[in-house]
Amino acid sequence: MSIKKGIYLLLFIVISASINNPLTATNGIGNRPTTSCPKSEFHKTVLPADYQISEYLPRLTGKRVGLVIHHSSVVSNRLLADTLLSLGVDIKAIFVPEHGFRGEEEAGAKIVDQKDPKTGLPIISLYGKNKKPTALQLSDIDVMVYDLQDVGVRFYTYISTMHYVMEACAENNKEVIILDRPNPNDHYTDGPILESAHRSFVGMHPIPIVYGMTCGELAQMINGERWLNAGVTCNLTVIAMPGYRHGLKQPLVVKPSPNLPNLQSILLYPSLCLFEGTEVSIGRGTDYPFQIIGAPYYPDKDFSFTPKPMPSAKTPPLSGKKVYGINLTTINPPAMIDLSWLIAFYNQSNLQEKFFNNPEFFDKLAGTSSLRESIINGETEKQIREKWAIGLKQFDSQRKQYLLYP
């Protein structure tokens, strides 16, 4: 079969599957309904850019290709690597981010290099010591294709992986193609702008916690603002999503990582991940990660849970301890970072000086030490948010020139 005929056949299969795909009529990953996106607010699903095969296949024909993918990189329930191999694309290696190739590893778990048993392709980890592709790893590659489902939050590490891929390709004269995907948190911007003193793998760019851009738009910003090492820029192509717009509420085809199992967790993630630098559990080791909050000392005993080891959280905080707190599984998540929960748990803590049990990590997540210091000093949420206003206004003006969608 010729490549051209193969494209038409695959597009027919994709379109047919998408019309009949039950995911286009549900509330997102998993089956539990949420109140965050009422049915009346859902719109026709816009397919991720990896479905736009006719747009990027000609850019891969005759070239040696590396893929930055994992379990979310699917075209009609078929892994992108398998799809491209069937079309004759010369794939040399698969590069994987945090959570591994199949997306089954817990946050922070060591990801090792291996071979894909189905295709025999080498799988190279970009999480751990080797976060940036080396010149040797890129030596027999002409173009890198990035296709990861992101959630639009600065400390979610897939955009850090994207940064290092762009940087390595710029330094080694390789092309980069970003297959853009919907961002469930691109309907607002919020949070402090990251300060350079707190730059890390959970925050590499001077952007707010919620930056309101797809990965393709952010990639353009990284290039345009010359945020790559030494101000280099990469040969970048973004494959866009026809019909997409910011704030388009729609389901994601697959969960982006083990502890973000549904849309509710994804929408609450910008607010609740800040607890990761504290003594409080946000549901790791339960069926509702990033949807419940608890600590042993919380005074309201109406809601409780006990974290326990699970494949997605082998050593969860407060494992085996009964904790009390707040159930957020059915609330309507606000289009903002809600600090009220963080402040409430701090105020109820038995030993406030130990509440931030990992202050350095908390400051990396926040991108500043100011948030932690403000909470300790008893400032209100309103007072804290006022400090973000100027930075957010400047960022909103800066990002406009890189937006691909209305």
For the chain, give every domain's residue range: 3-239, 263-395
Q: Taking residues 154-172, what's their average pLDDT?
A: 97
The kind and range of the H/E element at 327 are strand 323-327
CA atoms within 13 A on the CB side of 45: 21
Q: Residue 167's pLDDT band (boundaries 50, 70, 90)?
A: very high
Residue tagged 């909050």 (tokens) = 293
Residue 152 to residue 211: CA distance in whole angstroms: 7
Alpha helices for 172-300 (secondary structure H): 215-224, 263-272
Which range has the worst mean pLDDT, 45-49, 135-139, 187-191, 314-318?
Answer: 45-49
Structure tokens at 162: 């994207």
Residue 263 to residue 29: CA distance in whole angstroms: 6
Q: pLDDT tens digits for 15-30?
A: 334 333 322 222 233 3
CA-wise closest residue to 175 among 144, 148, 147, 146: 144
Q: pLDDT tens digits for 184-203?
A: 999 999 999 999 999 999 99
CA atoms within 13 A on the CB side of 147: 29
Q: pLDDT tens digits for 69-94?
A: 988 898 888 899 999 999 999 999 99
CA-wise closest residue to 196 among 79, 385, 369: 369
Residue 342 to residue 352: CA distance in whole angstroms: 12
CA atoms within 13 A on the CB side of 49: 26
Looking at residue 44, what is its pLDDT? 60
Residue 118 to residue 161: CA distance in whole angstroms: 25
Looking at residue 5, what is its pLDDT? 46
Other beta carbons less than 10 A from residue 347's beta carbon: 11
Q: What is the 3-state secondary structure (H, E, C) of 342-398?
A: HHHHHHHCCCHHHCCCCHHHHHHHHCCCHHHHHHHCCCCHHHHHHHHHHHHHHHHHH
CATH of 263-395, one of 3.90.1150.140, 3.40.50.170, 3.30.420.40, 3.40.190.10: 3.90.1150.140
Contact 291, 265 (CB under 8 A): yes
**More confident call, 107 vs 273:** 273
Assigned CATH for 3-239: 3.40.50.12170
Contact 122, 91 (CB under 8 A): no
Torsion angles phi and psi, residue 66, rounded to 5: -110, 140
CA-wise closest residue to 98 among 109, 85, 114: 109
The gap from C-alpha 127 to its chain's centroid, in whole angstroms, comes to: 14
Residue 55 to residue 48: CA distance in whole angstroms: 13
Alpha helices for 211-286 (secondary structure H): 215-224, 263-272
Contact 170, 232 (CB under 8 A): yes
Residue tagged 């085996």 (tokens) = 320
Contact 183, 48 (CB under 8 A): no
Residue 7 to residue 12: CA distance in whole angstroms: 9
Helix axes 263-272, 340-348, angle to 10 degrees: 60
Give the mean pLDDT of the chain. Answer: 88
The kind and range of the H/E element at 6 are helix 3-20
Q: pLDDT tens digits for 370-403?
A: 999 999 999 999 999 999 999 999 999 999 999 9
Contact 113, 91 (CB under 8 A): no
Residue 78's alpha-carbon distances to 125, 148, 153, in angstroms, are 21, 14, 27
